[in-house]
Structure formats: structure tokens, C-alpha cells
Amino acid sequence: MRTPIAKVTPGLEHAKVVGFVHEIRDLGGLTFVLLRDRTGILQVTVPKKRVPPGVAEAVRSVSRESVVVVSGKIAATEKAPGGRELVPSSFEVVSRAESPLPLDVAEKVPAEIDTRLDVRFLDARRPRIAAIFEVRSAVLHEVARFLHRHEFVQITTPKIVAAATEGGTELFPIAYFEKEAFLNQSPQLYKQMMMGAGFEKVFEIGPIFRAEEHNTTRHLNEATSIDVEASFADQEDVMHLLEDLVSSCYGHVAATCADALGRGGFEPLDVPRTPFPRLPYTEAIEIAADGIEEPIGFGDDLSPAAERAIGEEMGGHYFVVDWPTAIRPYYAMPYDDDPSLCRAFDLMHPRMELSSGAQRVHDHEMLERQLVAKGLDPASFEFYLRPFRYGMPPHAGWGLGVERFVMTMLGLSNVREAVLFPRDRHRLVP
RNA sequence: GCCCAGGUAGUGUAGUGGCCUAUCAUGAUGCCCUGUCACGGCAUCGACUCGGAUUCGAAUUCCGACCUGGGCGCCA
């Protein structure tokens, strides 16, 4: 039976291990082969004169990153990494790797992200990269667990939609038989319709598509969104839910990914403390105005420079609340006493925006008015507006970008690092 | 979409008109080497994105194409 490398301890007598050849150091009569599986690295020590001839020959001819099956005696020794080494009685090359490699998995020579993404399967063999995706998996697992525990129903909604229903961002057009269709930018309208269906609490984890021609380290054209919507809830309720979820994800990653983070060279995570500060938009603008060169005032969106200036001031996660109605989508609920402000919020990490949400407009007439105010035609929103005429509970929700969440959690410099196969302005393959 | 930067061995780089038969590292191949952990030593292999122009001479200057990175705009 095969033993994962992390389980190969000095106390074992014999083990069979499988993995990739990470490095070969041939000292002449003695060869060290570092064998890597996803749990760690094991030194295979080959004294040429004291192993079967077939083993010595296989070790001599094997190439880096080949897949091998090795079994032999485990010896406890101070001289080997991890305090143990394997002296092989058999060394079988299952799949020989071509040479030269398009990427140095052992990380002696760095590679640019573009080179790395071209051969992502090799890039992902690096413990640091594997750790990122172990963390991403743990985050998604915890999100689902957390929301299920809070009695949310997981839904999936169409990614092929009929029209550019929300305005704003550009959509990718596709051919849908004889009709024109688009890739969906957000499950927003669908999750709201499910409030009309009486599901009360829903969430979706799924892809969203944005046809923006940006070229930055924090934008993707295909991203993964965690979307939540809850009935009989206001913006404060869903902000509580969001900050608890964020904190809970950090906690779960810290608890379950410590080994992977260590192998990948990441520092242990600090779990952010809740509640996160609530910074009113007007105060955020004041901080930004003091901190940046460009002029900024009420009614402006927060530029990346403004976000960084405010983030520096705040130091950790925070919410920007009470936004001008004019710069939020039509479905954000204005305050009764001052309709120029609305019940919308953004969740910010000091480096960038992670999530945005709001209490929604649930009144049919008000929703129609706001659509018109944004220059949209209510007629083309009929499928969305209809549920608002047959009993729509008050509701609130948010969307959280998985890639940015993982990126800020691990301090990654480029959002592409947080997706296996990113889709950006230029990349469609692999 | 606008702006900036860039494209040199498999990978990462040096190279601002002749000293380039192109640097260094890593890698691959061969030889030596029994405790390496970025093993060491010796030798060899391997590259100027493409097309045009200027010039006696272009990796280097200019024009175009293609490709890429980044910033901004935009991002319900």
C-alpha cells in the first residue's frame, strides 16, 4: 500500500511511496533523489553499490518531474530532511518527464506569470501554488458549511441569459440557436426572484462574466462569486452575516491548511476580529480627499488610489456604508429620511473592494421609478419585475468575489494567482 | 478604450551602433565525486518575435505587424 510522504516517519520500517522527482543530486557513488507528492518531500538515498543494479540504473536515467514508484527501507537519520530517508529496493519510472521542462518546479529560477499559466499543470506542482488552491478549496467548503448552518438554500441560476438586464458592465454576447444571448454578469436578479418565491435565504457559488477590457492585477473576465440573499433582512443583518462568514473562513483556513501554508512558505493567518468598522461614505470621502492627489468629493466613486488611502487609515477589513443613491444600482434601497443616500455597503480589505451589497428595493413602483431614473427601460425587465407584484418580502444581500477574497487572505500580488485557469483580456488558453 | 513599459537559449536575465563569434544563472549531455539539502569541479549544448527602413556596419535607431506586462478608465 502506498504511504503519503507526510506519513513517512522515522519510526516506519518500510514504505512504498509515489510521486514526482523533485530534484536529483548525484554525488557519484551516492545519489539523492527528492521525491514529492502533495503532502511533502521525501529524500530517497541511493548508495549505488548497495542497491539492486536495476535501481541504480533507473535512478541514473530518470529525469526531473518524472512519476515514480519507490519502495524500500526507512532509516532514521539526522542527515536527511525530516529526520528520515528511504533507501530503495525498487525504483520504477511510471511516466518519464520530457526534458527540458518548460518551467522549473524546484523554483531555482523564477518564471513570469504568463509562462506559468501556459503550463499551469507544472506550475501547480509547486508547493506554494498547491497551497493556494488548498486554501481556496477550504474557503469554498467553509462558505457552504457556514451558510447551510445558517439555513440558507443553495441554488444555481442560469449563466446564459437573454438580455443585458442590469446595465453597467459589458456582457459577452453568445449565439443561442436563432437568438442573441449573453453570459451572465451576476445572479443578482435571479436570487431576488427567489425571495419572491419565498425561499427566504439563498446562496449561490458560481461563475460570473464581465466583458471589460481592463488589464490589471485585480480584474478577471471570468470570476467566481459567492452570492447571498435573505428575506426579512436589512443591510445590517447581511453585513453581520458577511463579517462572520469572512472571519469564519479565515478561522477554518488557519485550522485546516496550516501544513499546506507552511509547505508553501506562507505566514500563518491572522483571523480578523469582528465586528468590522462601519465607515460612512461621506467620511470615507473626507479621508480620501486628505490622502490623495486627485480631487474627490460627494458623489464620486472610490478610485483605486482612494481605496488604498482609506485602507491605510483603517488598517483592516471595514465596511463603507450609506452610499449616494446616484452611484449605486437601481435595486439599492434609499433611506426614507434622506433618499439621496441608500442602504448599500461595500466590504473593503485595505488593498481593495471584496464585496458589495445592500438592502434591496422590494416595492414594485419604487423599483420601476429607479429603473427609469437610471435610464433603463422597465419593459425589458418584465421577467424580473413580475415577482414584485405578487408579494415580495423586504430583503437584502451581497456578492463576494472568491478570487479577491483568497488573494487578500494570502497576500497574493495578482488575482490570477487565485484561479487555476484565469480568463483575462488576452488569455483564453488553457 | 487611453497611457506607459517590454519581447534575447527550456526558464530567469546582461547587453544604448563596431569591443557580440551575445553575459550570467539555472537546465540538458558527458566525465570526476559516498552525506547532499541551491552539492561541488571540468567540458559541451542551447537565444536576439516577424517584416521593412536607415547605416559601411543593427540585439541596439526608425516604421509596421504580432505578442505580453502594468496603470488608468470602466467594473450592477
Are residues A56 and A72 in contact, defined by beta-carbon separation less than 8 angstroms? Answer: no
Which stretches of A3-154 are DSSP H helices? 53-61, 113-118, 120-123, 127-149
A115/B16 CA-to-C1' distance in Å: 28
A359/B56 CA-to-C1' distance in Å: 76
A299/B41 CA-to-C1' distance in Å: 69
Strand B closer than 7 A to residue A219 Cβ? yes
pTM of the model: 0.93
Q: Closest nt to A47 (CA→C1')? A: B34
A141/B67 CA-to-C1' distance in Å: 39
Nucleotides of B under 7 A from a protein CB: 1-2, 10-13, 25-29, 32-40, 67-76
Strand B closer than 7 A to residue A165 Cβ? no
Strand B closer than 7 A to residue A330 Cβ? yes
A44/B34 CA-to-C1' distance in Å: 14
Q: What is the full per-residue pLDDT of chain A (430 aa) written as tens digits?
A: 899 999 999 888 999 999 999 999 999 899 999 999 999 999 999 999 899 988 999 999 999 999 999 999 999 988 888 889 999 999 999 999 988 899 989 888 888 898 999 999 999 999 999 999 999 999 999 999 999 999 999 999 999 988 755 655 778 888 899 888 889 999 999 999 999 999 999 999 999 998 888 888 999 999 999 999 999 999 999 999 999 999 999 999 999 999 999 988 898 999 999 999 999 999 999 999 888 888 888 888 899 889 999 998 999 999 999 999 999 999 999 999 999 999 999 999 999 999 999 999 999 999 999 988 888 888 888 888 999 999 999 999 999 999 999 999 999 989 999 999 999 888 888 8
* Domains in chain A, CATH or no CATH each: 5-95 (2.40.50.140), 121-276+316-418 (3.30.930.10)
Are residues A166 and A189 in contact, defined by beta-carbon separation less than 8 angstroms? Answer: yes
Is the preceding omega at residue A275 within 30 degrees of 0, hence cis? Answer: yes
The helix-helix angle for A127-149 and A402-410 (nearest 10°) equals 120
Residue nearest B41 (alpha carbon to C1'): A27
Distance of CA A425 to the CA centre of its chain: 19
Strand B closer than 7 A to residue A64 Cβ? yes
What's phi and psi for A317, nearest 5 deg?
A: -60, 145
A220/B44 CA-to-C1' distance in Å: 46
As a whole number of angstroms, the distance between CA A41 and CA A48 comes to 21
Q: Closest nt to A28 (CA→C1')? A: B33
Q: What is the pLDDT of residue A310?
A: 93
Give ipTM to 2 decimals.
Answer: 0.86
Apex CA A354: angle with CA A352 and CA A357, to 5°? Answer: 130
Strand B closer than 7 A to residue A95 Cβ? no
Residue nearest B39 (alpha carbon to C1'): A25
Strand B closer than 7 A to residue A50 Cβ? yes
Strand B closer than 7 A to residue A159 Cβ? no
A422/B69 CA-to-C1' distance in Å: 15
Apex CA A380: angle with CA A375 and CA A385, to 5°? Answer: 95
DSSP string, A364-386: HHHHHHHHHHTT--GGGGHHHHG
Pick out residues 178-217 of chain A having their CB under 7 A from any atom of nucleic acid strand B.
185-186, 188, 208, 210, 212-217
DSSP string, A222-265: EEEEEEEEEET--HHHHHHHHHHHHHHHHHHHHHHSHHHHHHTT
Q: Closest nt to A302 (CA→C1')? A: B75
Q: What is the pLDDT of residue A175?
A: 86
Strand B closer than 7 A to residue A148 Cβ? no
